[in-house]
Amino acid sequence: MSKDLSDASQKPTHPTKRRVTLRDIANELGVSHVTVSKALRNQTGASVELKARIKNKAEEMGYVPDPMLAALSHYRKTSTEKPTQAALAWINPWPNPEELRQYKEFDLYWEGAVETAHRFGFHLEEFITSKIPLHRLDTILKTRNIRGLLIPPLHNSADDWKTFPWHDFATVRFGRTIAYPEAHFVTSAQIANIMLAIDHARELGYQRIGFVCEYVRMRLFGAGYSWAQSSLPKKQHLPLLALSLEDDSAHQQIALDQWIKKAKPDAILTDNSETPQMLKNLGYRIPEDIGIATTSIHDTPIDAGIDQKPFEIGRAAVRTLAALLTENNFGIPETRNEILVEGKWVDGSMLPRRKA
């Protein structure tokens, strides 16, 4: 699925497969193609039952709206020229690009984006920028008539990204880790998620619930944790432990040991994948001595905690990008939109119901 930009201008060859049309669906059901068109757009002219039959048949036959025809139809309705897009770009500027989707959450971003792009009549292509200058990327995207960009999470934005002509593209980012461009972004609702986790931990019988997080993510998780504790008796208030990524594992383990002895938690919420091993190294049994849950079940070895719904985050990003393209809304916005996706709680063996 990934492609190096050095040969991105060469179009891949695929076996030709005839697109399923409205007339194909109409012939299968013995109705007119106009009726099929109206039903798929939820317009009047067909009963609820017939609409359902048409939609089921369209899905069964693999019908996908033609993005060219959709753009032409929109143009005719608005009398304003609209760009026609057949592809969206997933920009991967990681120094080691294969590492990006080794994170399960980020891979699910991709899968959700691919699925929703397909529903909108687009296909999503990954472009790897580690070996090519941005002016070359600009040329390739414009040659391919690709105007919609998705930017997955980064550790740091590339230094030269400000030279890229963002005004020519509609852009949606994943998460808050990217300093530039300041585009609309979709991310998990971290404040709501940590509060949800504390609520469930309390329902399971835990009273002294601590939070161990990496310093870079403590701002919103920490805010949610502090707010959740404000509703608890003061004797159950525990300070959070923020682990510095600049410290090695030995120093982090010392900090964790000191914090546990002072805070005396019966359960720990964490975003750090090393926390379970550090607890074992310190002689604590999970869950007998301390229960543990995670803010992300996808990328930590912890089976209880929050599913941040990364697949839905990927879907939401493409929906946002499609709306920008429809509106010809290009460039860095004056008012940035932040789309938050709430997660769900997942029970697991590492945070079982606590015995009275």
Q: Can you list the domains of the chain with their CATH numbers?
A: 20-63 (1.10.260.40), 87-189+310-343 (3.40.50.2300), 190-307 (3.40.50.2300)
More confident residue, 116 or 7: 116
User: Are the CB atoms for 196 and 167 separated by under 8 Å?
Assistant: no
Mean pLDDT calculated for residue range 143-168:
84
More confident residue, 329 or 51: 329
Q: From 222, 212, 266, 221, select the one nearest 244 (Cα to Cα).
A: 212
pLDDT value, residue 78:
47
pTM of the model: 0.73
User: Are the CB atoms for 187 and 221 separated by under 8 Å?
Assistant: no
Q: CB 240: neighbour CB atoms within 10 A?
A: 18
Q: From 13, 19, 148, select the one nearest 82 (Cα to Cα).
A: 148
Interatomic CA distance for residues 64 and 31, integer angstroms: 19
Average pLDDT, the chain: 85
Task: Name the residue with tokens 């049309």.
Answer: 21
pLDDT value, residue 68:
56
Q: What is the pLDDT of residues 258-277, one digit of tens each?
A: 999 999 999 999 998 999 99
pLDDT band at 16 (very low <50, low <70, confident <90, very high): very low
pLDDT value, residue 180:
84
- CA distances for 275 relative to 28, 181, 229, 240, angstroms: 58, 33, 22, 14
Q: What is the pLDDT of residues 161-180, one digit of tens each?
A: 888 999 999 999 998 887 78
Among 44-48, 65-69, 302-306, 331-335, name the one with the lowest average pLDDT: 65-69
- 15 pLDDT higher than 80: no
Tell me the chain's radius of gyration from C-alpha atoms. 25
pLDDT value, residue 140:
93
Q: From 142, 105, 145, select the one nearest 343 (Cα to Cα).
A: 105
- 66 pLDDT higher than 80: no
Q: What is the pLDDT of residues 38-49, one digit of tens each?
A: 888 777 767 878
pLDDT value, residue 156:
60
Write the DSSP string, 41-78: TT-SSS-HHHHHHHHHHHHHTT----HHHHHHHHHHHH
More confident residue, 327 or 292: 292
Enter the DSSP assignment of 155.
S
- 155 pLDDT higher than 70: no
- 30 pLDDT higher than 80: yes
The residue type found at 105 is E
pLDDT band at 286 (very low <50, low <70, confident <90, very high): very high
Q: What is the pLDDT of residues 208-260, one digit of tens each?
A: 999 998 866 667 887 888 888 888 888 888 988 988 877 788 899 999 999 99
Which H or E run contains 242? strand 241-243
Residues 6+ apart with CB under 8 A from 330: 147, 167, 168, 169, 170, 324
Alpha helices in the chain (DSSP H): 22-29, 33-40, 48-60, 67-78, 104-119, 134-143, 190-203, 218-229, 249-263, 275-281, 310-326
